[in-house]
Amino acid sequence: MTTYKLLLEYDGTTYAGWQRQPDRPTIQAALEDALRQIARQSISTISASRTDAGVHALGQVVGFQSDRPFLPHEWTRALNGVLPKTISVRKTEVTADDFHARFDAHGKTYEYRILNQQARPALDRHRVWQIARPLDVNLMREASQHVLGRHDCTSFQGPNAGTKNPVCTIRQIDWSQDGPVIRFTIRADRFLKQMVRALVGTLVEIGHGKRSPDALPAILEARDRREAGFTAPPQGLYLLHVDYKTEGAEG
């Protein structure tokens, strides 16, 4: 039995998230259906991140095992031949037998994209959060520095998460702006459910002058979701990259 690691890109617009659900289209269901079609056997997959409905990925990592004698590039070609056009395998590798896409990850990077203009987008309507009212990016940048480091992030956790450990270490935050497009990039050892979207929603309130940039420490200390801002919509969120301490050998 060989263990493989996939690097996936997908448009999450029409999917109810990563995880398989009854009677709803998901990324996992589409991938496992494609694997079954190719290998003529049921194959289970494990992802690094269980992205929510409408969330996209450029660097999702997925592990699976199979005894079919396919080379990595053959898996890539075969999967891209049968997967929906909204899902693409960027790379396939052979990895260690005990590789676990979720538990072996020691960091993830997400990006959130905002289109700050009055006119609503047509082509990118499912890929950005359009905000008509001008945002003060400098205030948002200043405020976001307060979340760097190790914190209990309960105040930014979505409902019904059931997380036993709410502590996350935020390692890096970057902001960039190209015309009306604002990109917020965040890297951490782990993320809670809807954490990035809750943080972005709070920062947007700061960018609109509804909160002070110095409000973040008190919000974190409260450990109460009601103290933070609203949850930003999913279509602006992208999983960019997953970090691993050791990488498997490419076949």
Q: What share of the chain in percent tops pLDDT 70?
A: 98
| Residue 246, pLDDT score | 64
**Are 77 and 35 within one domain?**
yes
The average pLDDT across 247-251 equals 39
Q: What is the CATH number of the domain that holds 178?
A: 3.30.70.660
Q: Which residue out of 11, 23, 52, 98 is catalytically annotated?
A: 52
Q: Is 52 a catalytic residue?
A: yes
Classify residue 118 by burial, with Cβ atoms within 10 Å: 0-12, 13-18, 19+.
Answer: exposed
And the tokens for 4? Answer: 């493989």
**Are 77 and 89 within one domain?**
yes
Which sign, positive or negative, has the C-alpha torsion 7, 242, 232, 163?
A: positive
The average pLDDT across 241-247 equals 84
pTM recorded for the entire structure: 0.94
The average pLDDT across 131-138 equals 98
155 has a pLDDT exceeding 50: yes
**Are 180 and 79 within one domain?**
no
**Are 95 and 186 within one domain?**
no
Question: Taking CA 167 as the corner, what is the angle to CA 162 and CA 171, rounded to the nearest 5 degrees?
Answer: 130
Q: What share of the chain in percent tops pLDDT 90?
A: 94
181 has a pLDDT exceeding 70: yes
Domain edge (last residue) among 87, 103, 119: 103
Please, which pLDDT band fits residue 44 given cuts at 50, 70 and 90?
A: very high
162 has a pLDDT exceeding 90: no
- Give the domain extent around 200: 106-240
In a domain, 245, yes or no: no
The average pLDDT across 161-168 equals 87
| Residue 251, pLDDT score | 32
**Are 126 and 197 within one domain?**
yes
Domain edge (last residue) among 103, 127, 162: 103
| Residue 159, pLDDT score | 85
At residue 111, the 3 state secondary structure works out as strand
**Are 111 and 233 within one domain?**
yes
**Are 97 and 118 within one domain?**
no
* Interval 78-134: pLDDT, tens: 999 999 999 999 999 999 999 999 999 999 999 999 999 999 999 999 999 999 999
Domain edge (last residue) among 73, 103, 133: 103
Please, which pLDDT band fits residue 248 given cuts at 50, 70 and 90?
A: very low
**Are 143 and 27 within one domain?**
no
**Are 118 and 235 within one domain?**
yes
Cα–chain-centroid distance for residue 235? 11
Structurally, the chain folds into a number of domains equal to 2
**Are 82 and 126 within one domain?**
no
**Are 164 and 236 within one domain?**
yes
Looking at every residue in the chain, the average pLDDT score rounds to 95
**Are 97 and 121 within one domain?**
no
Question: Taking CA 34 as the corner, what is the angle to CA 8 and CA 23, rounded to the nearest 5 degrees?
Answer: 95
